[in-house]
Structure 1
Amino acid sequence: MSEQNTTLWNAPVATRPLDATVTIPGSKSLSNRFLILAALSHKPVRIEGLLRSRDTELMMNALRALGVQCEEDPAEPTTITVTPPESGTFTGNAEIFCGLAGTVMRFVPPLALFADGPVRFDGDEQAYARPMGPVLEGLRQLGATIEFEGEQGFLPFTITPPNMLGNLKGRPQKVRIDSSASSQFISGLLLIGSRLPDGLILEHTGTQLPSLPHIRMTMEDVNGAGGSIDMPARGQWVVRHADLQLHENTVVEPDLSNAAPFLGAALIAGGTVRVPNWPAHTTQPGGLLPSVLHKFGATVTLNGEEFNEINDCECFPDTFNGMLEVTSDGTIHGLGECDLSAIGEITPSIAAIAVFADEPSELIGIAHLRGHETNRLEALVNEITRVGSHAQEESDGITISPVPREQMHGATLETYADHRMATFAAMLGLGIDGIVVKNVETTRKTIPDFVGMWTNMLEQSNI
């Protein structure tokens, strides 16, 4: 069933500078990758700090439908023990509901290669507009049969694995797909490449490759589970056959992308917001966030040591460890032209900050956001315009030309069943009185209690 909600939430206005510490739940990207890799292992895996949200529940339910056990620790709901099927073969003749979760609809279908029968995939109504063609084309090249119930390349569909039509061994192991619309198509195939009898040679045929940090995350996670993935050239990957085994006690990092609305709040409202447990090394694209906030004009420190480099949006601060602190006097500088191709998923948070800047920001390298939960570029233009500011959709991104705060006004903002559009609206509400958010509950996709965390952030600042 599609998740629908028409509730209205009055976004709170910041009446004083912030002074808050916000603990961020586990990374969705890492949680769902670890769940997939645990299912591909041969012994049980205990995952600690797993994000408990709609997307991860959908992932665990999908794995259960394939015969994988996912058991919650009664004393700690964020600890899950994953037990793969003893035979190593997944249960076929199954139905999987993807909701609106990109990681479920792009990462789970490749597992159907190793099922003992057909697997049908369906999802929310909004998911029918999210492209699936490239990963399914990859599975077709590996011998699977895809039967679509509606438009080609979109949900719903049924995958018949090649072990029902002939053995995988001996079939072509070189796959060529165009992953311009989403890095998840590449990641979905990289996650299962190790199990193919002869490994996998994967090539991206498109002109652009979005969210390369997410692909590097997948590579590091697979290699950490005993696999071997090399990227000899941009857009080419070699995956060697290997028996994967995720570490029996795996810990999930905080979701650094989900930190973006809270750290960004320090710029919009002024004051300081702190996020503990910032990892010393991370493959999360959110690890690039501090450099963007610094470019906006914030002071960024880790354990009291100031981050001073002003490079560009590709600066990766891999020396951070511990308490990340962002402080601002409320002055926000425009970014000018800023390439967000590596961190496209946090574009809505960056756009919300840019609405209050003193100069325009041209956010580029994010054409692929048109294929996310909604067309995020169009949605951002719609909602920025709705509050009285100016934005324009470009072929490769969005240009935001801010107006003074006093010229903007309250409005009821749409969220498009998109969790990041909901947090974007909450951020606007910090600096614009009268913002009402439709279906803020869509934030459950990645932040189970966003409203509670947001309210607590402001309450800490009022003490």
Structure 2
Amino acid sequence: MNTTIWPAPTATRPLDATVEIPGSKSLSNRYLILAALGTQPVRLTGLLRSRDTELMMGALRALGVRCDVDEQVDTTVTVTPPAEGRFHGNTKVFCGLAGTVMRFVPGFAMLADGPVDFDGDEQAYARPMKPVLDGLEQLGATIEYHGEEGRLPFTITPPASAGECTSPSVVNIDSSGSSQFISGLLLVGARVPGGLELHHVGEKTPSLPHIRMTVADLRAAGVDATADEQSHVWRVQPGTVQLPGSVTVEPDLSNAAPFLGAALIAGGTVRVPNWPETTTQPGGLLPGYLERMGAKVSFPVENGTRYCEVGGDGHINGLGDFDLTAAGEIAPSLAAILVFADAPTSMIGIGHLRGHETNRLEALVNEITRVGGKAHELADGIAIEPVPAGELHGAEMETYADHRMATFAAMLGLRIEGVTVRNVETTRKTLPDFVGMWTGMLG
């Protein structure tokens, strides 16, 4: 176990920084998947190079896909699908702790020429998988579990014959625990004989923006994909999957949250370049959330580059009831800001965070309490109450092998002296040089 202890720096003056954010993990791994499903090579530029994307490329290589990294620019990767679109079976896929790998890649086993074994980090054994695997069983796959049912590790054996079908295969799953269950099935839907009609039978759908991202990316790859969100039904017509020959990945807007949020905690201004005018990323909602907390937000354009610029004076508004259903992945960053707010906030609509890299709701309560703050879990979220500044104190913060808990702890350290972070290296999952970026922001 990694026991590195990192002293989180405290801000000694208002910030004035420009921070370049690497490519979106969500988009990077979706583009890798769609490129592998095509018939022609695709050149991806601005690809995030982190543990999660390395795991994705490793998984695809195990299935017979070529992922060639440019020798000059390591964020440029050319993906070449296997001949005749048939993936290699009798192979092993290692998922690490990457949700997009463990939930998106199993669909490829439907298209393989033999069984595929899936395994991951020990902590990944606690992450739910059953809805996507139930969906694959409904499509004819055989699942053999080597541990607890519905979780890693397991083996997927594809149907004996794809056969011919003129009508779509209808699949019913409960995706309440993660939008990735729906995305994982939609991504391979065009390769299902007759196409796919996916029904979500749960009460709520977490992170709809991520599903919308998947649908938009499918359409960009020439796939006829439609969504009836009112009825919780998605349809993918059968056909060829092919991204354009060259695709550029947007910055990861959710990974911008700790840096832009730092402007509220420490005061001053933080700018992130290459902010898109429109985006399918849930992190695109971040500027509006920060504005509600009291930030001044603008989008200046300089020399053709569009920035998101966030300014703060150290005062933070509590938000009362705050529905974060659409963007739960930025909850840890927002929670760090709200520890210093002037009024209580109940972040709701994020019960599914209990099934992420760790139980994020429990982890957030533990760590807020550890530094003298007040927080408690709700059935569908977390409540944070203000405390006098003098009651907050330094502590050694746990990260639970969760990159967003590490950045959460760093944010608290901006205003609380003596915060140290255990295993800050877990940020390599999506931000390979987080420590360098963070200290650089502080000057």
- Measured in 1, the distance between the counterparts of 2:366 and 2:297 equals 31
Where does 1:166-205 land on structure 2 (aligned, <5 Å)?
A: 166-170=161-165, 173-205=169-201
Q: Secondary structure at the match of 1:77?
A: coil
Partner of 1:241: 238
Partner of 1:381: 365
Partner of 1:308: none
Q: Cα deviation per residue 1:25-54 (whole Å; 9 max; x = unaligned)?
A: 000000000000000000000000000000
Within the alignment, does 1:121 sit opposite 2:148 as a pair? Answer: no
Q: Secondary structure at the match of 1:431?
A: coil
Asked if 2 retains the 8 angstrom alpha-carbon contact of 1:62 and 1:97, the reply is yes
- Measured in 2, the distance between the counterparts of 1:176 and 1:55 equals 28
**Number of aligned residue pairs:** 440
The one-letter code of the counterpart of 1:423 is T
1:167 CA drift (Å): 2.5
The one-letter code of the counterpart of 1:275 is V
Partner of 1:48: 45
- Measured in 2, the distance between the counterparts of 1:364 and 1:240 equals 35
Asked if 2 retains the 8 angstrom alpha-carbon contact of 1:68 and 1:83, the reply is yes
Within the alignment, does 1:158 sit opposite 2:160 as a pair? Answer: no
Where does 1:21-420 land on structure 2 (aligned, <5 Å)?
A: 21-162=18-159, 165-170=160-165, 173-234=169-230, 235-303=232-300, 322-420=306-404
Q: Cα deviation per residue 1:346-400 (whole Å; 9 max; x = unaligned)?
A: 0000000000000011100000000000000000000000000100100010000
- Measured in 2, the distance between the counterparts of 1:168 and 1:442 equals 44
- Measured in 1, the distance between the counterparts of 2:122 and 2:228 equals 39
* TM-score normalized by the length of structure 1: 0.94
Asked if 1 retains the 8 angstrom alpha-carbon contact of 2:333 and 2:411, the reply is yes
1:169 CA drift (Å): 3.2
- Measured in 2, the distance between the counterparts of 1:109 and 1:261 equals 32
- Measured in 2, the distance between the counterparts of 1:179 and 1:46 equals 32
Q: Cα deviation per residue 1:213-258 (whole Å; 9 max; x = unaligned)?
A: 0000000000010001111343101111120111110000000000
Partner of 2:426: 442
- Measured in 2, the distance between the counterparts of 1:179 and 1:215 equals 11
Q: Secondary structure at the match of 2:413?
A: helix
1:281 CA drift (Å): 1.3
Q: Secondary structure at the match of 2:332?
A: helix
- Measured in 2, the distance between the counterparts of 1:261 and 1:456 equals 13
Q: Secondary structure at the match of 1:104?
A: helix
Kindly tell me: are residues 6 and 219 of structure 1, through their superposed partners in 2, closer, same or farther at Cα, counting changes over 3 Å? Answer: same
Q: Cα deviation per residue 1:122-178 (whole Å; 9 max; x = unaligned)?
A: 00010000000000000000000000001000000000001xx23353497100000
- Measured in 2, the distance between the counterparts of 1:245 and 1:342 equals 28
Kindly tell me: are residues 425 and 436 of structure 1, through their superposed partners in 2, closer, same or farther at Cα, counting changes over 3 Å? Answer: same
For structure 2, list consecutive stretches of 5 or more residues without a partner in the other structure: none
Q: Secondary structure at the match of 1:403?
A: coil
Q: Secondary structure at the match of 2:6?
A: strand
The one-letter code of the counterpart of 1:167 is A
For structure 1, list consecutive stretches of 5 or more residues without a partner in the other structure: 306-320
- Measured in 2, the distance between the counterparts of 1:197 and 1:120 equals 24
The runs of at least 4 consecutive aligned structure 1 residues that moved more than 3 Å come to 168-172
The one-letter code of the counterpart of 1:230 is T
The one-letter code of the counterpart of 1:413 is M
The one-letter code of the counterpart of 1:225 is A
RMSD value, Cα = 1.3
Q: Secondary structure at the match of 1:52?
A: coil
Aligned residues with identical type, % of pairs? 68
The one-letter code of the counterpart of 2:49 is R
- Measured in 1, the distance between the counterparts of 2:266 and 2:229 equals 44
Q: 2:415 aligns with which of 417, 431, 437?
A: 431
- Measured in 1, the distance between the counterparts of 2:141 and 2:199 equals 18
- Measured in 2, the distance between the counterparts of 1:75 and 1:433 equals 41
- Measured in 2, the distance between the counterparts of 1:244 and 1:344 equals 30
Partner of 2:13: 16
- Measured in 2, the distance between the counterparts of 1:367 and 1:229 equals 28
Partner of 1:312: none
Asked if 2 retains the 8 angstrom alpha-carbon contact of 1:142 and 1:168, the reply is no
- Measured in 2, the distance between the counterparts of 1:144 and 1:85 equals 21
Asked if 2 retains the 8 angstrom alpha-carbon contact of 1:224 and 1:246, the reply is yes
Q: Secondary structure at the match of 1:137?
A: helix
- Measured in 2, the distance between the counterparts of 1:177 and 1:6 equals 40
* TM-score normalized by the length of structure 2: 0.98
- Measured in 1, the distance between the counterparts of 2:115 and 2:225 equals 28
